[in-house]
Amino acid sequence: MGLKPATNPDVEAATIELSIDGKAVTAKDGVSLYDVISSTGKIIAAMCYHYTFDPFGSCGMCLVMQEGKKAPVRSCTAKATAGMIIRTEGDDLFQARKKAVEKHLSVHPLDCPVCDADGHCELQDMAFQHGVTNLANAKQKFIPEDTRSLVLDFNMNRCIACAECINVCKDVLMIDALQFMKKGGFNQVVAKGDLPLSCEFCGDCLAVCPVGAITNKFSKYLYKPWQMKKTTTTCNYCGDGCQMYVETKDTEVIRITSPLSWKNKWGDRADTAKGHGGLCVRGRFGFQYLDSPSRLKQPLVRKGNQLVETPWLETMHHVVERFSEICKRQGPEAIAGLITARCTNEELYLFQKLMRAGFRTNNLDSSARYGHLNFVHASRHALGIGRSPNDWEDLTKAKAVLLIGSNITETNPLTAVRIKEAIRVYKAQVVTIDSAITNMGKLASHPFVIKARTERLVIDGLVKAAIDLDLVDEEVTKKHPQAFAALKAGVAHVSLEQIAAQTGMSVQGFKDAASVFAEAPRSIILCGEGIVRQPDGHQNILKLIDLAWITGKLGRPGCGVNTLTEEPNEQGAVDMGVAPEFLPGQARFDDQAARDRFAKAWDVTLPAAESGAHLMEILNRCRSGQIRALYVIGENPLATMPASMEVRAALDRLELLIVQDPFFTETAKLAHVVLPACTYAEKDGTFTNLEGRVLRVRQAMDPLGDSLPDWHIMTALANGLGCQWEYESANDIQAEIMKLLPGYYNLGQPRKITPNADHYLSNGYTTMVANRYHSGAARPAGAEQRPFALLMGQLLYHSGKMSTEAPGLIKIAPNTGRLRMSPQDMERLGLVDGAKVRVTSDRGSLQLGVQPDQSVAPHTCFFPEHFNEPPVKDLMSVQLDPVTNVPSFKFTRVTIEKA
Ligand code: SF4
Ligand code: SF4
Ligand code: SF4
Ligand code: FES
């Protein structure tokens, strides 16, 4: 439609003046007249319009009179031009709009009593507003409902052909899964090719459908909209931190809805740069675990070989007694704790306080250790900032995005939508570098599929290419001539030809990617699991910072090096000090001034500055018998880590294993005490998303059974241990954090942070960088003996293990138990879908079926990390990042033979 460019910061649209209902209004030349009218606060009816995508102009509701024209004009598709004189009100317009409503109703089934949209339907609203009372001409279409999709039903009798569903899918999501098709004499919405819908199942089409033509299979016929309580909260699946509404009826969660809705169709088109308000499949359809019958509802205490339901009071007495006894006998060093980054900031804060001030131990860690801490440490070290510097708006408006080591649509689908908008609206060039054939790669201007585990070499190649091609920003490198000379010397031996052979990316590819990144005025690096969850994760980030530095992309508006967080509150876990190396606010645990401050605030003596164990060390010490008691909140190490880490041996050795979780996990089965915890929907608090935005989590339902919020259980435990904690709500904890970390609760806006590399570049950088680019020795070990790279990773439809408790998501993506291979490899090995193979790594061997997967690159194979059946994870070996102790266990080399 061409209406978007006026919102593009690179396009100077002229400011024009026009008249609306007698008032002079200024606007950008060429934008939708409807947008200009609604920007004055006037809302006129518009059933096929939504501000997030280009207007379609089918419903005939948004009529206005333009001076000089005889008939009314559709304002949504009309472009604002200078001098227009517009009238939006009057009986003639009212009657014209009423006629449009009557026309829609004349082919509508009027089955409102059994329609999910009854009471939440724009057609009903329009009929009411326009006084349509005579339906004598109504006639039925008798189109059979299309129930072939896994999550959505299409009732085309109710469709008003507004195309909002098609447009949101095509324009905003760039998926394009729907189309109109003439069937049975009617224009109907069908999945492309009239096949069963096969898409990302985000449900955004459902959200924008103004009538009941698209319905949610999981909540159909379960409610009337007015029966539901609607709670605004933050999604608990990934670090994107999408806002959502949990809709409950009595004690049941009925559905999740989004700010994106036909009800919310008026907005500034430029605002979508901050997000379009939609959700992904996990957020929208992954809610059924919240009130699942398999939730834990009672504390369990081990009696003999059995875990027996026990009242809370008795359980907590037992827990306090056992912890106290072990602490007295073995000292606080014999106690450790692990917590999931799915907990709120307030709970994470309380957890580290409990460990340090309650137990007096610094043996604690969170799931941020699985990768995010690599980013935080490197970024703090080089730039003095412990999180990503750019927000969604920066990403959307970037002119170049370098997305490396991330299958972003699978891990962070709504951040992926920002890149899609960058491509579609702001014409960004996107470089994707990954060992999978990703969805984003299909949209990117420069997609590169590389050999598995060669990301670090690719970065070497990019830095080398930037220097060779003189893509260097002289202004910034001149400020640190020695550092730049050292970097140049450090990469002098790097051969692009050699790296090209090692990585599978061509020499020209390196040059193109480096040029795209360096030459754009606003360039963003975004990296994911392929960078931070690798043994060289910390170095990888430092190298990406090198690239950004020399090309002048550090600290400049709209530029920076960023990472993705897979769990909802990994950033919060680090910010709240849940790591042995950090106190809250990312103060170093050995920083005396910070120690004094927290010791005073908590009125305790903190554990020794040099004490503390991170995740891997905790497991080692459990195995060696040094740690006797472990408190695990929401983590499931037994199901997550490979057998080579001997987690079971570590847990078996414990005298006391307390597991606090909403579900009876594999780790819980080994516990001495299991404490039933609430989900995010049953508590208040905040999450900090990947932009550094602190987002509210609000209680949407009563705790299930006797489950309690994690903060509540920790408070009871601390008080049992003799602390005098008086928290009665998450707000009380928040008040304490506010005092200790002023400015942290930036609700709504991420705090602006500016990277500064000056100190880093002038203090030891020359020595450090000398050994950074040692790509010569980098052939992936074992490639000759074991020709396949086996990767484990995330699917779009799941998140960790928690989503496997959501029947809706399991329906979409069940565990097939099969290894995913590229169709070419399967053909080469003579394997058909379902054929059995033997997969062998240095750690063992197992037999399983195979299935073709177009996203898997040749010479690699993939198994989703969410499932342990068969136990593919046990084929993995573990490598630790030498600086951050981040364990990496999602990659190994294997042989594949027909079984
Ligand atoms: S669910 Fe999402 S991806 Fe699928 S058709 Fe609807 S909008 Fe498109
Ligand atoms: S299904 Fe709904 S959104 Fe799609 S064209 Fe029909 S009425 Fe519009
Ligand atoms: S993108 Fe992430 S935060 Fe947003 S709905 Fe999906 S899982 Fe939830
Ligand atoms: S809103 Fe303009 S024609 Fe539908």
pLDDT tens, position by position, 13-23: 789 999 999 99
Q: Which pLDDT score is estimated for 11?
A: 63
Closest ligand 4 atom, CA of 58?
A: 3
CA of 221 to the centre of ligand 2 (A): 19
Contact indicator for 676, 298 with CB cutoff of 8 Å: yes
| Ordered DSSP codes for 702-765 | PPSTT-B-HHHHHHHHHHHTT------SHHHHHHHHHHHSTT---TTSPPP-----HHHHHTTH
Residue 97 has pLDDT above 80, yes or no: yes
**Long-range contacts from 657-661, C-beta under 8 angstroms, 24+ separation:** 657/629, 657/630, 657/632, 658/319, 658/629, 658/630, 658/631, 658/632, 659/632, 660/631, 660/632, 660/633, 660/634, 660/710, 660/713, 661/296, 661/632, 661/633, 661/634, 661/636
Q: Which pLDDT score is estimated for 641?
A: 95
* Total number of residues shown for the chain: 899
| Residue with CA at minimum distance from ligand 3 atom 5 | 283
Q: Which pLDDT score is estimated for 315?
A: 98
Mean local confidence (pLDDT), 382-391: 97
Q: Which pLDDT score is estimated for 137?
A: 76
Residue type, 642: P
Q: Which ligand lies nearest to the CA atom of residue 212 in the structure?
A: 2
Residue type, 30: G
pLDDT grade for 783, boundaries at 50, 70 and 90: low
Q: Is the CB of 204 under 6 A from ligand 1?
A: yes
Torsion, CA 228, CA 232, CA 234, CA 236, rounded to 10:
-20
Q: Which pLDDT score is estimated for 720?
A: 97
Find how far residue 184's CA is from the centre of its chain. 41
Q: Which pLDDT score is estimated for 9?
A: 55
What is the DSSP-derived secondary structure letter of residue 639? H
Integer Cα distance of 477 and 451 in angstroms: 32
Integer Cα distance of 156 and 141 in angstroms: 8
β-bridge pairing 152-154 and 214-216: antiparallel
The alpha-carbon radius of gyration of the chain (Å, integer) is: 29
CA of 199 to the centre of ligand 1 (A): 6
Residue type, 120: H
Looking at the chain, the whole-number percentage of residues with pLDDT higher than 90 is: 92
Residue 780 has pLDDT above 90, yes or no: no
CA of 45 to the centre of ligand 4 (A): 8
Looking at the chain, the whole-number percentage of residues with pLDDT higher than 70 is: 98
Contact indicator for 352, 364 with CB cutoff of 8 Å: yes
Residue 776 has pLDDT above 90, yes or no: no
Q: Which ligand lies nearest to the CA atom of residue 48 in the structure?
A: 4
Which of 258-272, 274-288, 331-345, 720-734 shows the lowest per-residue confidence on average (mean pLDDT)?
258-272
Q: Which pLDDT score is estimated for 209?
A: 98
pLDDT digits (tens, 9 = 90+) for 542-558: 999 999 999 999 989 99
Contact indicator for 393, 517 with CB cutoff of 8 Å: no
Residue 4 has pLDDT above 50, yes or no: no
Integer Cα distance of 526 and 531 in angstroms: 10
SS3 (DSSP) at 144: coil
Mean local confidence (pLDDT), 411-434: 97
CB-facing half-sphere around the CA of 415: CA atoms within 13 A: 29
Backbone dihedral angles phi then psi of residue 543, each to the nearest 5 degrees:
-70, -40
Q: Which pLDDT score is estimated for 784?
A: 73
What is the DSSP-derived secondary structure letter of residue 295? B
Backbone dihedral angles phi then psi of residue 2, each to the nearest 5 degrees:
75, 20
Q: Sign of the CA dihedral 415, 421, 427, 432?
A: positive
Contact indicator for 333, 611 with CB cutoff of 8 Å: yes
Structure tokens at 870: 């068969």
Q: Is the CB of 202 under 6 A from ligand 1?
A: yes
CA of 578 to the centre of ligand 3 (A): 23
CA of 124 to the centre of ligand 3 (A): 31
Closest ligand 4 atom, CA of 76?
A: 2
| Ordered DSSP codes for 826-890 | HHHTT--TT-EEEEEETTEEEEEEEEE-TTBPTTEEEEETT--SS-GGGG---EE-TTT--EE-S
Residue 333 has pLDDT above 70, yes or no: yes
- Ligand 2: lining residues by beta carbon, under 6 Å: 159-165, 189, 208-209, 211, 213-214
Integer Cα distance of 77 and 69 in angstroms: 15
With 0-12 / 13-18 / 19 or more C-beta atoms within 10 angstroms meaning exposed / middle / buried, residue 739 is exposed
Closest CA to 720 of 318, 343, 368, 404: 318
Helix, strand, coil % over all residues of the chain, rounded to 5: 35, 20, 45
| Residue with CA at minimum distance from ligand 2 atom 8 | 162
pLDDT grade for 778, boundaries at 50, 70 and 90: very low
Alpha helices in 307-344 (DSSP H): 312-330
Mean local confidence (pLDDT), 739-765: 90
Q: How many helices (H) and strands (E) does the chain have?
A: 32, 36
- What residue ranges in 250-377 does DSSP mark as E strands? 252-257, 300-303, 306-309, 335-339, 364-366
Closest ligand 2 atom, CA of 48?
A: 8
Integer Cα distance of 479 and 836 in angstroms: 60
Substitution site in 44, 49, 103 for ligand 4 pocket (most atoms within 8 Å of beta carbon): 49
Closest CA to 263 of 222, 307, 206: 206
pLDDT digits (tens, 9 = 90+) for 259-303: 999 999 988 878 899 999 999 999 999 999 999 999 999 999 999
pLDDT grade for 12, boundaries at 50, 70 and 90: low
Contact indicator for 844, 425 with CB cutoff of 8 Å: no
Phi-psi region of 347 (alpha: psi -120 to 50; beta: other; left: phi over 0): alpha
Closest CA to 644 of 883, 873, 884: 873
Integer Cα distance of 449 and 856 in angstroms: 10
Substitution site in 233, 240, 276 for ligand 3 pocket (most atoms within 8 Å of beta carbon): 240
Residue 36 has pLDDT above 60, yes or no: yes
- Ligand 4: lining residues by beta carbon, under 6 Å: 46-49, 57-62, 74, 76
pLDDT digits (tens, 9 = 90+) for 53-69: 989 999 999 999 999 99
pLDDT grade for 139, boundaries at 50, 70 and 90: confident
Phi-psi region of 885 (alpha: psi -120 to 50; beta: other; left: phi over 0): left
Closest ligand 2 atom, CA of 163?
A: 5
Residue 806 has pLDDT above 70, yes or no: yes
Mean local confidence (pLDDT), 320-344: 98
Average pLDDT over all residues of the chain: 95
pLDDT digits (tens, 9 = 90+) for 198-241: 999 999 999 999 999 999 999 999 999 899 999 999 999 999 99
Residue 862 has pLDDT above 80, yes or no: yes
- Ligand 3: lining residues by beta carbon, under 6 Å: 235, 237-238, 240-242, 279-280, 282-283, 413-414
Alpha helices in 331-407 (DSSP H): 345-353, 372-383, 392-396
Mean local confidence (pLDDT), 62-77: 96
CA of 284 to the centre of ligand 4 (A): 27
